[in-house]
Structure 1
Amino acid sequence: MRPDLRRRRLLLLLTASTLYSAPLARRALAEAARPSLGGTQAPASDAGKGLKVVVVGAGMAGLSASATLVAAGAEVVVLEARDRIGGRIFTDRSLGVPVEQGANFIHGFNGNPVAALASKAGGMPFFVDEEQSAVLLSGGEEPEDFEIDDLWEEIERIEEKAAEEADGDAALSLLDIIELLDPALLQEPIGNWGLTDMWENELGAPLSAISALHFNAGEVYPGPDAVLLQGYDLLPRHLADGLDIRLGEAVRHVRHAGDTVTVETATARFEADHCVVAVPLGVLKAGAIAFDPPLPPEHQAAIAAIGFGNLAKVSVLFDRVFWPTDLHYLGYAGKERGRFADMLSLVPIHDAPVLTLMASGGYADKVDAMDEAALRADVTAVLRDMFGQAVPAPEAITRHAWSTDPLALGTYSYPAVGARPGDHDVLEAPASGRLLLAGEHTSRDHFGTVHGALESGQRAALAVLKRGRG
């Protein structure tokens, strides 16, 4: 289970307070590097000798699988539909500093395999501190401390009673439970901000779509969240070193019956002993890849059941900083739930007048549907509601609409109404003797995270090596 709110806040406070100087950050990286990826032993360097594998997707899962297989001596071809590697890790530098269009954080630094990978890649973390934050209501008023404390206590009460109130009914959503236990929370701006910050943002889905039974499923690593100062794309570039990656190759068919696997793109055909398909869950849901024979019924059911949500992120450059420079996070308790409720300041991270605003729940799709003019106007309106009419217009703005990106069709998986934690286990299991799936959606404990994707790729690679050519 995820830690409850009180324990998570304590873990963050105890760890974040010690990690902000560069020497201590380097010490934290050294500590993180000690465990091997996923806590397993690396395979022998000749374990994959003579083995041919096609990996579909050059995101973190696909690159992790490929790097593990190549290190074991296998011959691997990676097919990536995009013109870049990284998948939903997408670092943009058009604003003059690295901003993350996709995955942003190493969630829970202590013992996290992504932190270990960052150490190997020479990454330097910046530890974000949730205590360095402020929430503003419409008009710029700041709630009293007791209001925030009361809010978290009420959300914690809902968290503790949700499963009991759901009473095993898989059709109930988290919204149903909130309406039962405290409907007034949904009518208050500060209440809606808390619900967004706690669940809609973290899980990337509206409350009405999140399972009341399993919203709290999964595990977390302790310690603070971290941002990589060089950009998150440092990690896929590190994993990709030495790999045979074919960009612009969108896979259309995977035939996995018989003694070999045949993988077809619009322009080429590849044969191998095994195939690892590491594309986003949204691509699997859309049926963009045809499998022959079709995926097993249990795999198809799990793909349909697990949710695949949306978190819209917008990074904005200004000519000056007009918000408190010491804050890491800003919260906006506006009238519409999910409307840029959470913001990350890049002033302490990169000394740049840049904000990354996050829209979640139903508002995320609204943001993805906006053209740039409408988006600029919406962002400006929110910030002027918080800080007054003197807020300047943005100098530049950048975003990526993952929900409409045909190579993603969403951001990350979540426990949807009707889904079960065991659905992730189904997707982790081989689809056939020569076909495996990988990705954060195949991780029961760490779905929705980069480390979940990273570990899933290694698991798939080890399964391939165990099966060999037979």
Structure 2
Amino acid sequence: MRPDPLRRRLLLLAAASGLSLSSVGRRALAQASPLASAAGPVDAAGKGLKVVVVGAGMAGLSAAARLAESGAEVVVLEARDRIGGRIFTDSSLGVPVEHGANFIHGYHGNPVADLAAKARATPFFIDQESWQLLEQGGVEPEDFEIDDVFDDLETLADSAAEEADGDPSVSLLEVIEMLDPALLQEPIGNWALTDTYEGEYGAPLAQLSALHLDAGEAFDGPDVVLREGYDLLVKFLGQGLDIRLGQPVRRIRHRPDGVTVETDAGTVEADHCIVTVPLGVLKAEAITFEPALPDGHRKAIAAIGFGQLAKVSVAFDKPFWPEDVHFLGYAGRERGRFADMLNLTAIHDAPMLTLVASGDYAPRVDAMDNAALIADITAVLRDMFGSDVPAPKGMSRHAWSRDPFARGAYSFPAVGASPADHATLAAPVGPRLRLAGEHVSGDYAGTVHGALLSGERVADLVLAAGKG
């Protein structure tokens, strides 16, 4: 949950050493974005072309906007009654809280940051050093204890791939049990493992491939929360687009000369189709493809992990926690039990927290009813801050694992999977059908900017293909 965990720190160190995309390359990438111009069509490459985009999340909307500004006729079919997909902002508690995507990860050169500037969003820059960790009974560990644990994690991160010895089926949990099992026996160690890995990837340690944990790239700079809410960006992108809500796609027939997309409301014919539904929907085979997806695509869909993360925002009459820190950590008995909390007091001047459950605890939270969940959260907060802590006066949640149009949070490097699986999904399904989304992005899987760049990339490929 804290937006600068060990993995991103290590990636940024690699970038500083010239091992990843250079700052010049990132600037060029952002400048090349078709969303860089808000002045209308950048060319007429799409004139006379009709495209159906399935899904109105970041990937779908970025693809549709790129196509539309190039003159194509675009129809966006969205199963939900709202746009945004896993960007889902709720203001029912008085200020924007994020059920889904929360941060712009790495502000410098990030195309989502560029989009936020165009949408006139107000960024709140996160200080990754502004956090407080409490153990059971409200005990604050000494700095050296935390430093020692993160030193152990850096050693673990340096050795994980070597211990996997080229085998993607070796889990991170197996490597920890071999190299440093003491981490699993102490509350601070378990908290650090959650904060660094389970909360970052949305998956338990036993499901994470030790070999491919550090695959991918990262943008430089601080992480950012948008004060108006993340959904400001999808509303901005969606302006002027033909978006049809409440139309889940059931079947896609793709031929050498075009596509037919079937929904509960009827069919849409087009020259091309871009499918941007979450990986969980593809795993569930909720859409029938005729002909079926290629064998390589089906294997990649099965291999890549699709995780669970439970986020719950709660409101109080007044804060009983430190008001100026950006994050709170809880090192309790059970790994993943609300180990990380975002302090909305610092961001919105509101007495609210967003708590995150990860790893094996996330599905337990999604299975709780509201009364049980409030009781569980209250118990954690009382353990941290004392028995006089009141129960929340309001709560906002969304169970992504039980959402039929998501079926989970975001993709992760699962045991048995490899970065090549993302490249497979980026390959065309057929001459008229392509996939897009964060799970299709090899460099930026699991991120909003990965989804945005994936949508733009596919839109450009469709424009290049044209009607031919």
TM class, shorter-length = over 0.9
Contact 1:32 1:116 in 2 (8 A): no
**Residue number in structure 1 paired with 2:384:** 386
SS at 1:302's partner residue? helix
* Deviations 1:338-357 (CA, angstroms, capped at 9, x unpaired): 00000000011000000000
Q: Distance in 2 between matches of 1:338 and 1:191?
A: 12
**Which residue among 68, 71, 81 is the counterpart of 1:70?**
68
**Residue number in structure 2 paired with 1:36:** 31
**Residue number in structure 2 paired with 1:23:** none
Greater alpha carbon shift after TM alignment, 42-51 vs 339-348: 42-51
| One-letter code aligned to 1:253 | R
Alignment of structure 1 residues 53-64 onto 2, 5 Å = 53-64=51-62
| One-letter code aligned to 1:463 | L
**Residue number in structure 2 paired with 1:273:** 271
**Residue number in structure 2 paired with 1:243:** 241
**Residue number in structure 2 paired with 1:346:** 344
**Residue number in structure 1 paired with 2:21:** none
Greater alpha carbon shift after TM alignment, 87-96 vs 212-221: 212-221
Contact 2:81 2:245 in 1 (8 A): yes
1:323 partnered with 2:324: no
Contact 1:255 1:263 in 2 (8 A): yes
Contact 2:11 2:217 in 1 (8 A): no
**Residue number in structure 2 paired with 1:25:** none
Change (3 A) 1:194 1:324: same
Structure 2: where are the runs of 5+ without partners? 14-25
* Deviations 1:181-234 (CA, angstroms, capped at 9, x unpaired): 011110100000000000000000000000010011111111111000110000
Tell me by how many angstroms 1:171 deviates: 1.6
Change (3 A) 1:341 1:4: closer
Q: Distance in 1 between matches of 2:380 and 2:8?
A: 32
* Deviations 1:416-444 (CA, angstroms, capped at 9, x unpaired): 00000010011111110000000000000
Tell me by how many angstroms 1:445 deviates: 0.5
Contact 1:318 1:353 in 2 (8 A): yes
Contact 1:260 1:273 in 2 (8 A): yes
1:8 partnered with 2:9: yes
| One-letter code aligned to 1:112 | N
Change (3 A) 1:6 1:220: closer
Tell me by how many angstroms 1:169 deviates: 1.8
SS at 2:255's partner residue? coil
SS at 1:256's partner residue? strand
SS at 1:316's partner residue? strand
Contact 2:34 2:456 in 1 (8 A): no
Change (3 A) 1:159 1:39: farther
Q: Distance in 2 between matches of 1:192 and 1:33?
A: 40
1:376 partnered with 2:374: yes
Q: Distance in 1 between matches of 2:245 and 2:391?
A: 38
Contact 1:32 1:115 in 2 (8 A): no
Q: Which of structure 1's runs of 4+ aligned residues deviate more than 6 A?
A: 9-12, 31-34, 39-43
| One-letter code aligned to 1:8 | R
Tell me by how many angstroms 1:390 deviates: 1.1
| One-letter code aligned to 1:228 | L
SS at 2:365's partner residue? helix
**Residue number in structure 2 paired with 1:134:** 132
SS at 2:138's partner residue? coil
Greater alpha carbon shift after TM alignment, 238-247 vs 256-265: 256-265
Q: Distance in 1 between matches of 2:97 and 2:162?
A: 41
| One-letter code aligned to 1:264 | E
**Which residue among 439, 443, 446 is the counterpart of 2:444?**
446
| One-letter code aligned to 2:86 | R
* Deviations 1:126-162 (CA, angstroms, capped at 9, x unpaired): 0111211010000000110100110110000000001
Q: Distance in 1 between matches of 2:60 and 2:161?
A: 35
SS at 1:234's partner residue? helix
| One-letter code aligned to 1:156 | E
**Residue number in structure 2 paired with 1:299:** 297
**Which residue among 103, 106, 110 is the counterpart of 1:105?**
103
**Residue number in structure 1 paired with 2:20:** none
**Residue number in structure 1 paired with 2:462:** 464
SS at 2:247's partner residue? coil
Residues matched between the structures, number: 450
**Residue number in structure 1 paired with 2:400:** 402
SS at 2:364's partner residue? helix
1:259 partnered with 2:254: no
Contact 2:5 2:196 in 1 (8 A): no
SS at 1:271's partner residue? strand
Tell me by how many angstroms 1:297 deviates: 0.5
**Residue number in structure 1 paired with 2:19:** none
Tell me by how many angstroms 1:36 deviates: 2.4
Contact 2:426 2:434 in 1 (8 A): yes
| One-letter code aligned to 1:211 | S
| One-letter code aligned to 2:203 | A
Tell me by how many angstroms 1:96 deviates: 0.2
**Residue number in structure 2 paired with 1:19:** none
Change (3 A) 1:260 1:35: closer
TM-score, with length taken from structure 1:
0.93
TM-score, with length taken from structure 2:
0.93
Q: Distance in 1 between matches of 2:309 and 2:128?
A: 19
Q: What RMSD, in angstroms, separates the aligned Cα atoms of the two structures? A: 2.0
| One-letter code aligned to 1:35 | A
Q: Distance in 2 between matches of 1:399 and 1:176?
A: 33
Contact 2:203 2:359 in 1 (8 A): yes
Q: Distance in 2 between matches of 1:315 and 1:248?
A: 27
* Deviations 1:86-134 (CA, angstroms, capped at 9, x unpaired): 0000000011000000000000111100000000000110011121101
Tell me by how many angstroms 1:258 deviates: 3.2
Q: Distance in 1 between matches of 2:455 and 2:239?
A: 16
Q: Distance in 2 between matches of 1:316 and 1:32?
A: 38
Structure 1: where are the runs of 5+ without partners? 13-30
Q: Distance in 2 between matches of 1:104 and 1:435?
A: 31
Change (3 A) 1:33 1:317: farther
